[in-house]
Chain A
């Protein structure tokens, strides 16, 4: 367990230790640790006043992937409440829906295009420019006193932030995470992988996506600098590589698709090797081994680490260090549990998977579990359950992901329970088809979609030319007949959702 009771202790300490060091860089904008602390704390005090000094309640931050959003997120925490970041570029109707499903005590709008909602908007705390009224309304002494009081009254199990995740019913659910679960994870993660003050992170994940909290809180804890890499660079690999080189980025935590973009365009050869990189983490979807080998071959000194978690846990709970090269058509192992964490595979009959190759649902017991779904105790109770193998109270989270063990004891992710389809009487993992066919050298990205109505498997792939023959050959040689896709569809590119993952819904609608 972490001895950090409130995550703000990270920022309080770092701002005293390294006041003038740059914490975040976002294009032309940058902010030092002391500026970040001063702004967030004084806006936090303003929010607390606006909220009538309520605590432990949700506050909505409507913002973009920029420094203003970060300031406002932390301001909510200073106010004694917890933040929920909503992407300001979402359609208005979607934002309204999110504001409806949770009883927010207020909202802070901090994007360039201000979102107005009279019912919810707090006073002018969203004016995050240095000279704003909120910042000058109170003296440094008042702010310090306010912060000391807040920290003294806080509990380690208080909520820190909430994150929306789509429910199967279509209504968004809000997962809430505590200070102690996040601090526990960040302390462990930074120690295991040697995050230091001298590190420079290159952020790819938007802040409303859970994986970004590693960038944010590693920064506050270690006093390292985070570069918020502009989104458009992830469409233009030359800019991306130059950015990594010019800014001397040392560690990146990215979605596999972003790493695949670099591999598929041969950008390390075309534009140069970012020599300062020491560690590359990938999370959020399955990393294809072919593209990983491209990176590993050209940058053998770099450590490549697969990490796995769920929105319902703080941070990750499985990891795999890619130290021996695997063949291109192999599935990358998801890995072994982090320290202080129990992970097991539960079969449908309620027993544990013992043998290699048997499949079960990934279940986890850890201090880093989230607090469940906000305002939805039944839904929470369905997936956060008593560990049936324990005679005392021990809560485990059932991920809904299926996996097996390999010969080395690694857990190997197979699919979402929902992606496991029944086709011609067989249970099929669509990801198995993707991995097998994705190994064809000329194929970039690929994805399988099952059409429930027509009972057909569609295989979408990205390549320079039509590969019908090559795919057909691979299908015949490597897959059982019931797994044969009924159609191969060549695309110029696969669609991606806002988090950078392949957008299966969009493909299904094509």
Chain B
């Protein structure tokens, strides 16, 4: 899990280096990430973790915080 977090943080910080991902809990609701960011991040996550986030998982609540994204990755890795 910790390993996932590190890799995910790297992806997020590469996409939007100016955001404080550790502490933000409303990345989508506060419109910090736009659709361009989200699609880039999804694609990076898919490649890095060898999972496939499909359109059914493309929900705001799965992307509002680092913990939410980690939970989604974990769920898909276990499937």
Residues of A at the B interface (CB closer than 8 Å) are: 231-232, 234-239, 261, 265-267, 270, 492-496
Complex contact A238–B36 (CB within 8 A): no
Q: Compute how far the CA of A148 lies from the CA of B13 in the bound complex, rounded to whole angstroms.
A: 57
Residues of B within 8 A of A494 (CB): 36
Binds A, one of B17-25, B38-46, B68-76: B38-46
Complex contact B40–A493 (CB within 8 A): yes
Complex contact B55–A235 (CB within 8 A): no
Complex contact A232–B31 (CB within 8 A): yes
Complex contact A492–B31 (CB within 8 A): no
Chain B nearest Cβ from A317, distance in angstroms: 31
Q: 26 pairs across A/B with beta carbons < 8 Å?
A: A232-B28, A232-B29, A232-B31, A234-B35, A235-B34, A235-B35, A235-B60, A236-B58, A236-B59, A237-B58, A238-B56, A238-B58, A239-B59, A265-B55, A265-B58, A266-B55, A267-B55, A492-B39, A492-B40, A492-B42, A492-B43, A492-B44, A493-B36, A493-B40, A493-B43, A496-B34
Complex contact B60–A495 (CB within 8 A): no
Complex contact B31–A231 (CB within 8 A): yes
Complex contact A236–B39 (CB within 8 A): no
Complex contact A493–B39 (CB within 8 A): yes
The 8 closest A-B pairs by CB, nearest first: A493-B39, A235-B35, A492-B43, A265-B55, A492-B40, A495-B36, A492-B39, A493-B36
Which bracket fits the contact residues of B? 10 to 19
Complex contact B29–A238 (CB within 8 A): no
Residues of B within 8 A of A496 (CB): 34-36
Q: Name B's interface SS.
A: helix
Complex contact A235–B56 (CB within 8 A): no
Q: Compute how far the CA of A234 lies from the CA of B58 in the bound complex, rounded to whole angstroms.
A: 11
Residue on B nearest A233 in the bound complex, by CB: B60
Complex contact A239–B36 (CB within 8 A): no
Residues of A within 8 A of B44 (CB): 492
Residue on B nearest A231 in the bound complex, by CB: B31
Q: Compute how far the CA of A237 lies from the CA of B55 in the bound complex, rounded to whole angstroms.
A: 8
Residue on B nearest A89 in the bound complex, by CB: B31
Complex contact A493–B58 (CB within 8 A): no
Q: Compute how far the CA of A41 lies from the CA of B28 in the bound complex, rounded to whole angstroms.
A: 35
Residue on A nearest B47 in the bound complex, by CB: A492
Residue on A nearest B29 in the bound complex, by CB: A232
Residue on A nearest B58 in the bound complex, by CB: A236
Complex contact A239–B60 (CB within 8 A): yes
Q: Compute how far the CA of A494 lies from the CA of B38 in the bound complex, rounded to whole angstroms.
A: 11
Residues of B within 8 A of A266 (CB): 55
Chain B nearest Cβ from A25, distance in angstroms: 18
Residue on A nearest B57 in the bound complex, by CB: A238
Q: Compute how far the CA of A239 lies from the CA of B62 in the bound complex, rounded to whole angstroms.
A: 13
Q: Compute how far the CA of A236 lies from the CA of B44 in the bound complex, rounded to whole angstroms.
A: 18
Residue on B nearest A258 in the bound complex, by CB: B35
Knowing that A232-B31, A239-B59, A496-B36 are A-B contacts, what are 10 other residue pairs whose CB atoms are under 8 Å apart, sorted by A's residue number?
A232-B29, A236-B58, A238-B55, A261-B35, A270-B55, A492-B39, A492-B40, A493-B35, A493-B40, A493-B43
Q: Compute how far the CA of A123 lies from the CA of B55 in the bound complex, rounded to whole angstroms.
A: 48
Residues of B within 8 A of A238 (CB): 55-56, 58-59
Chain B nearest Cβ from A347, distance in angstroms: 39
Chain A nearest Cβ from B41, distance in angstroms: 9
Q: Compute how far the CA of A265 lies from the CA of B56 in the bound complex, rounded to whole angstroms.
A: 10
Q: Compute how far the CA of A270 lies from the CA of B34 in the bound complex, rounded to whole angstroms.
A: 22
Q: Compute how far the CA of A349 lies from the CA of B69 in the bound complex, rounded to whole angstroms.
A: 59
A237-B55, A267-B55 given; A232·B36 CB < 8 A: no
Chain B nearest Cβ from A446, distance in angstroms: 14
Chain A nearest Cβ from B27, distance in angstroms: 10
Chain B nearest Cβ from A88, distance in angstroms: 12
Residues of B within 8 A of A234 (CB): 35
Residue on A nearest B39 in the bound complex, by CB: A493
Residues of B within 8 A of A237 (CB): 55, 58
Residue on B nearest A257 in the bound complex, by CB: B35
Interface centre among B34, B35, B42, B60 (most CB of A within 10 A): B35
Residues of B within 8 A of A270 (CB): 55-56
Q: Compute how far the CA of A265 lies from the CA of B57 in the bound complex, rounded to whole angstroms.
A: 12
Chain A nearest Cβ from B64, distance in angstroms: 10
Q: Quick one: which of A232, A261, A267 contacts B60, CB cutoff 8 A?
A: A232
Q: Compute how far the CA of A496 lies from the CA of B8 in the bound complex, rounded to whole angstroms.
A: 24
Residues of B within 8 A of A495 (CB): 36
Interface centre among A232, A239, A266, A494 (most CB of B within 10 A): A232
Q: Compute how far the CA of A288 lies from the CA of B46 in the bound complex, rounded to whole angstroms.
A: 28
Q: Compute how far the CA of A265 lies from the CA of B28 in the bound complex, rounded to whole angstroms.
A: 19
Residues of B within 8 A of A265 (CB): 55, 58
Chain B nearest Cβ from A499, distance in angstroms: 13
Q: Compute how far the CA of A265 lies from the CA of B58 in the bound complex, rounded to whole angstroms.
A: 10
Q: Compute how far the CA of A492 lies from the CA of B42 in the bound complex, rounded to whole angstroms.
A: 9
Q: Compute how far the CA of A265 lies from the CA of B54 in the bound complex, rounded to whole angstroms.
A: 9
Complex contact A236–B56 (CB within 8 A): no
Q: Compute how far the CA of A266 lies from the CA of B54 in the bound complex, rounded to whole angstroms.
A: 11
Q: Compute how far the CA of A383 lies from the CA of B20 in the bound complex, rounded to whole angstroms.
A: 47
